[in-house]
């Protein structure tokens, strides 16, 4: 019976029926609590269902029963990576490779962990070793292509990802990864069709049917809906006046976070709804699909300001004509584990950012809601910000905004306010791979890391430029 349950569990796992696989392995373990294979397989099933805590318990129990198993070490390392325990994951994988130097999955997983640790050349070497051992596959091409993209080796990334798609043209992960590399390269017309693969690769669409393809709307109702981060909604809002002008009789609905409603009320003829609203509509489109439907390229991208401040509570005047600079040092909340690792990677540690805010003669204003950390508290004014209308009112009164890659960068750019963006070495899809200019915003300057994870030179250069811009602060 135990053997039958074990085989049945493996069959369920092969079919992606993870809950049933877990139940089958439960049966095995009720008969033999020390069945390390059943523990390891149940851990896999639990991990696939997002049950990280119980998966970790199972992996640890299996490893204690069979400490020599390379497969257990590899699977445990994958979970540790998801939990953000990158050093432990790397150590386990190196231990596995010391025991079995030609373990393909260990090389692939080590490459992924090293990517998260910002060691891109080493990650590329790991992925190439996996391909050398086992040949090309869609997954290995995706891993290698993604590492090349992070290293901004975009020609290599595009070639590798296109090669993977020759093996499997329908692979959503490859198509989405290719879109990111193409966007960074500024090849928008090629990128947009691949960018739609995000709905299969990383996101779940809120609406599936009656997708707008750009046809004349007449008197129809078009529902646009926010899908990703706050900055993405601010970025795509530039197209709302164009849609209103090109489809004057259409009813335009925008489902977006409440924090935008007062600010976006300035778009005439656009009805604002809560994000989860379910109105009646004739066609719909996620906001980040607008550039593809509208045929946006670098040559026809409108970059002029399109947002203005709206009436808000009174803002105190500058002190004695001193320049006033708004700052954001931290990206938004991204969850836990590896997701939080990426958020922190986009952010500047407060202790380092404080050096910028110590320049004399300048009043610095926090554009992040909430109290700043202790390293910054004495250096910043902290106005109450309840929504993006409040933030826009403050931005309008500033001489400059300095921010990491987060929503305030898009807000300042949309308002035409001078804004400096502190950008990680890997850049971001809509900021291109190099250069000081940002194609979506004419008033924006980009300060880029030369080395992944190292902010010191970026902050030093920005501080020197800030002192030159406002010489009274010397």
Which among 436, 409, 439 is positioned nearest to 329, based on CA atoms? Answer: 409
pLDDT in tens, 305-335: 999 998 766 787 777 789 999 999 998 665 5
Q: Identify the pLDDT of residue 90.
A: 97
- The residue extents of the domains of the chain are 2-201, 221-294, 324-473
pLDDT in tens, 247-262: 999 999 999 999 999 9
**Average pLDDT, integer, range 93-101:** 96
Residue 394 host element (H or E): helix 388-396
The residue whose two tokens read 């960074």 is 184
The answer to whether residues 140 and 127 touch, using CB atoms and an 8 Å cutoff, is yes
Q: What is the DSSP string of 123-189?
A: HHHHHHHHHHHH---HHHHHHHHHHHHHTT-HHHHHHHHHHHHHH-TT-HHHHHHHHHHHHHTT-HH
The answer to whether residues 458 and 346 touch, using CB atoms and an 8 Å cutoff, is no
Q: Which burial class, exposed, middle or buried, applies to 418 when counting CB atoms under 10 A from its CB (0-12, 13-18, 19+)?
A: middle
Q: Identify the pLDDT of residue 333.
A: 61
The answer to whether residues 177 and 146 touch, using CB atoms and an 8 Å cutoff, is yes
Banded pLDDT at 2 (limits 50, 70, 90): low
**Average pLDDT, integer, range 158-185:** 98
Which among 120, 150, 124, 116 is positioned nearest to 433, based on CA atoms? Answer: 150
At residue 105, what are phi and psi to the nearest 5 degrees?
-65, -35
At residue 90, what are phi and psi to the nearest 5 degrees?
-60, -45
**Average pLDDT, integer, range 117-131:** 97
Work out the angle at residue 68's Cα, subtended by the Cα atoms of residues 62 and 74, and round it to the nearest 5 degrees. Answer: 70
At residue 27, what are phi and psi to the nearest 5 degrees?
-60, -45
Q: Identify the pLDDT of residue 474.
A: 42
Which among 327, 331, 412 is positioned nearest to 376, based on CA atoms? Answer: 327
Q: Identify the pLDDT of residue 291.
A: 98
pLDDT in tens, 404-414: 999 999 999 99
At residue 368, what are phi and psi to the nearest 5 degrees?
-100, 130
Q: Identify the pLDDT of residue 288.
A: 97
Residue 317 host element (H or E): none
Banded pLDDT at 473 (limits 50, 70, 90): very low
pLDDT in tens, 332-388: 665 556 666 666 789 999 999 999 999 999 999 999 988 999 999 999 999 999 999
- Taking residue 91's Cβ as centre, other Cβ atoms within 10 Å add up to 15
| First-residue to last-residue Cα distance in the chain | 81
In whole angstroms, how far apart are CA 193 and each of 187, 220, 293, 353, 440?
12, 25, 9, 39, 20
Q: Identify the pLDDT of residue 315.
A: 81
Work out the angle at residue 114's Cα, subtended by the Cα atoms of residues 38 and 187, and round it to the nearest 5 degrees. Answer: 115
**Average pLDDT, integer, range 194-223:** 95
Mean pLDDT of the chain: 94
Residue 326 host element (H or E): strand 324-328
- Taking residue 186's Cβ as centre, other Cβ atoms within 10 Å add up to 14
Which among 148, 170, 169, 171 is positioned nearest to 158, based on CA atoms? Answer: 148
**Average pLDDT, integer, range 267-278:** 95
pLDDT at residue 472 above 80?
no
Q: What is the C-alpha to C-alpha distance for residues 70 and 196, in angstroms, rounded to an integer? A: 37
pLDDT in tens, 20-67: 999 999 999 999 999 999 999 999 999 999 898 999 999 999 999 999
Which among 45, 78, 73 is positioned nearest to 60, based on CA atoms? Answer: 73
Give the side-chain half-sphere CA count within 13 A for 308.
Answer: 4
- Taking residue 390's Cβ as centre, other Cβ atoms within 10 Å add up to 22
In CATH terms, are 2-201 and 324-473 the same topology? no
- Taking residue 338's Cβ as centre, other Cβ atoms within 10 Å add up to 20
Q: What is the C-alpha to C-alpha distance for residues 278 and 107, in angstroms, rounded to an integer? A: 46
Q: Identify the pLDDT of residue 313.
A: 64
Q: How many residues does the chain have?
A: 474
What is the CATH number assigned to the segment(s) 324-473? 3.40.50.2000
- Which residues neighbour 369 within 8 Å (Cβ) at sequence distance 6 or greater? 385
Residue spans of beta strands (DSSP E) within 151-304: 221-225, 251-255, 270-273, 283-286
The answer to whether residues 28 and 2 touch, using CB atoms and an 8 Å cutoff, is yes
Return the CATH architecture of domain 2-201: Alpha Horseshoe (1.25)
User: What is the number of H-type helices and E-type strands within the chain?
Assistant: 22, 10
């Amino acid at each position: 019976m135990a053997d039958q349950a074990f085989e049945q569990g493996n069959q369920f796992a092969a079919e992606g029926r993870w809950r049933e696989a877990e139940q089958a392995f439960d049966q095995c373990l009720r008969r033999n609590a020390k069945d390390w294979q059943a523990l390891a397989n149940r851990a896999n099933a639990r991990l696939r269902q997002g049950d990280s805590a119980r998966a970790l318990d199972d992996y640890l129990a299996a490893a204690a029963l069979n400490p020599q198993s390379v497969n257990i070490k590899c699977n445990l390392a994958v979970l540790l990576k998801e939990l953000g325990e990158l050093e432990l994951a790397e150590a386990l994988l190196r231990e596995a490779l010391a025991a079995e130097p030609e373990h393909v999955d260990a090389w692939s997983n080590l490459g992924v962990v090293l990517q998260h640790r910002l060691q891109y050349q080493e990650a590329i070497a790991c992925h190439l070793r996996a391909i050398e051992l086992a040949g090309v596959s869609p997954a290995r091409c995706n891993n290698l292509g993604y590492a090349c993209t992070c290293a901004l080796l975009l020609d290599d990334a595009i070639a590798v990802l296109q090669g993977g798609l020759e093996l499997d043209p329908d692979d959503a992960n490859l198509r989405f990864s290719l879109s990111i590399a193409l966007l960074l390269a500024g090849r928008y017309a090629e990128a947009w069709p691949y960018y739609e693969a995000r709905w299969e690769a990383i996101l779940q669409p809120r609406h599936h049917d009656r997708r707008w393809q750009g046809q004349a709307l007449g008197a129809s109702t078009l529902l646009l809906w926010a899908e990703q981060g706050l900055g993405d909604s601010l970025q795509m809002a530039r197209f709302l006046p164009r849609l209103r002008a090109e489809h004057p009789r259409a009813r335009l609905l925008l489902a977006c976070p409440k924090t935008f409603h007062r600010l976006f009320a300035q778009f005439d003829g656009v009805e604002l709804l809560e994000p989860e609203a379910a109105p009646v509509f004739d066609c719909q489109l996620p906001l980040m699909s607008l550039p593809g439907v509208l045929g946006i390229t670098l040559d026809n991208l409108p970059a002029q300001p399109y947002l203005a401040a709206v009436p808000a509570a009174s803002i105190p005047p500058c002190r004695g004509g001193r320049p006033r600079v708004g700052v954001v040092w931290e990206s938004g909340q991204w969850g836990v584990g590896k997701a939080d690792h990426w958020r922190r990677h986009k952010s500047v540690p407060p202790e380092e950012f404080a050096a910028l805010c110590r320049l004399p003669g300048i009043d610095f204003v926090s554009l992040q809601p909430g109290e700043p950390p202790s390293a910054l508290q004495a250096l910043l004014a902290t106005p109450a910000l309840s929504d993006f209308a409040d933030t826009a009112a403050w931005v309008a009164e500033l001489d400059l905004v300095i921010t990491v890659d987060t929503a305030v960068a898009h807000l300042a750019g949309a308002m035409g306010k001078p804004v400096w963006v502190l950008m990680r070495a890997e850049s971001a899809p809509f900021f291109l791979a190099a250069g000081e200019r940002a194609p979506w915003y004419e008033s924006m300057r980009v300060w880029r890391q030369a080395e992944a994870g190292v902010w010191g030179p970026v902050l030093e250069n920005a501080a020197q430029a800030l002192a030159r811009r406002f010489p009274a602060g010397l």
